[in-house]
């Protein structure tokens, strides 16, 4: 997080536009947000036609109660929009959670760059190290492979596949093939894509409860950590109360 030192002490609105690098070529950028910790407690108090003008100790206790008892509907009154650049397999994991979660909005905000309409410069994720298959699970990974020669060989093999796909893609474009078909030559899973994700604070925290878990894939955990970093800056007291009880959310 190379931008951390510049973000300390800044107001939430001054963080709009900040971008934090993830993996080798990816990032998470805060595009916009709406609401605050005060918005959450005032949404909770609406049932009693009450409202706080300034956040105080009673509001902090209310937030703790809401997170402890999983009364999360007040979180729907706060929103965040991120721009994300990540390998396609990370994007699809992200999307799979968003559309299958009972805690997300019925119409999730997701707008992704399309290679049907634009010819983006293809970029690919090549891991610095490779991980072992897990011994007792069908998914996930074990520890890092410590064989330097094998790590180098795996990286070289992947790079050769990428280079061959790029050559075929460029040949097809130069031959006049439509970009929407030429992209079929590009190795898909490791190719970077860019999208904007908008969701309520409730949706974002439920996403984090799943993608920060130890059994989530390492790459998506890196992105989830940056999303959490931004959320902590925008909604600090709510996030701390959520972190106190978040293990219950992931069950």
Question: Catalytic: 211?
Answer: yes
Q: Which helix (H) or strand (E) holds 182?
A: helix 179-182
Q: 109 and 198 in contact (C-beta within 8 Å)?
A: yes
Distance of alpha carbon 73 from alpha carbon 196, whole angstroms: 23
Question: Which position among 68, 211, 221, 248 bears the catalytic label?
Answer: 211
> What count of other Cβ atoms lies within 10 Å of the Cβ of residue 55?
17
Q: Which residues of 91-102 are buried (b: 16+ CB within 10 A; e: fewer)?
A: bebbeebbeebe
Tell the residue number behind the tokens 């060989």, with chain if given. 153
**3-state class of 109 per DSSP?**
strand
Cβ neighbors of 239 (< 8 A, separation 6 or more) are 205, 228, 231, 232
| Helices of type H across 15-73 | 37-45, 57-68
**Token pair listed for 239:** 């996030």
- Which positions are annotated as active-site residues? 211
């Amino acid at each position: 997080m190379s931008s951390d030192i510049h973000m300390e002490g800044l107001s939430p609105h001054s963080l709009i536009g900040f971008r934090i690098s993830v993996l080798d070529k990816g990032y998470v950028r805060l595009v916009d947000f709406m609401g605050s910790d005060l918005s959450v407690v005032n949404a909770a108090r609406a049932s009693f036609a009450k409202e706080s003008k300034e956040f105080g100790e009673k509001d902090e206790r209310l937030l703790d109660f809401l997170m402890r008892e999983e009364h999360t509907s007040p979180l729907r009154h706060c929103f965040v929009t991120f721009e994300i650049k990540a390998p396609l397999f990370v994007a699809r994991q992200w999307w799979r959670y968003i559309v299958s979660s009972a805690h997300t909005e019925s119409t999730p905000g997701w707008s992704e760059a399309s290679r049907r309409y634009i010819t983006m410069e293809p970029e690919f994720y090549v891991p610095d190290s490779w991980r072992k298959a897990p011994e007792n699970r069908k998914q996930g990974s074990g520890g890092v492979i410590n064989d330097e020669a094998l790590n180098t060989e795996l990286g070289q093999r992947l790079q050769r596949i990428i280079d061959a796909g790029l050559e075929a893609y460029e040949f097809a474009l130069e031959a006049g093939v439509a970009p929407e078909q030429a992209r079929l030559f590009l190795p898909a899973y490791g190719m970077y894509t860019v999208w904007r994700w908008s969701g309520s604070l409730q949706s974002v925290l439920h996403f984090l409860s799943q993608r920060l878990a130890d059994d989530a894939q390492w790459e998506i955990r890196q992105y989830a950590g940056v999303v959490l970093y931004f959320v902590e800056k925008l909604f600090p007291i709510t996030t701390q109360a959520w972190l106190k009880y978040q293990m219950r959310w992931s069950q």
